[in-house]
Amino acid sequence: MTLLRVAAYEQPLKWLALALGLFSTISIVQDWQLAAMMFGLPFCLIWVFCGWLRTEPQLKYINIIFSLLYVYGIARYFVING
């Protein structure tokens, strides 16, 4: 799949990221740690993808770091509470 074909999905992905960000924020306010991380991880992954499409290096690298932190947090949650 070429980059231009994939770029057609950028706008719907950004709307999905907005919804995920809202759900993540609500989860944080409600003190639902696992839900916040589960919504936050795909949010970051979408922005990594969109950053690669538009060659926004700061955006993609920041979101790669946050994605790794979310994976760590989710794994830690299941190790401690599992």
Over 90: is that where the pLDDT of 2 sits? no
Nearest to 15 by CA among 47, 51, 63: 47
| Token pair belonging to 13 | 């992905």
Query: Structure pTM?
Result: 0.81
| Upper half-sphere CA count for residue 46 (Cβ side, 13 Å) | 18
Please write the tens of the pLDDT for every residue from 17-57.
Answer: 999 999 999 999 999 999 999 999 999 998 888 877 667 77
pLDDT at 69: 95
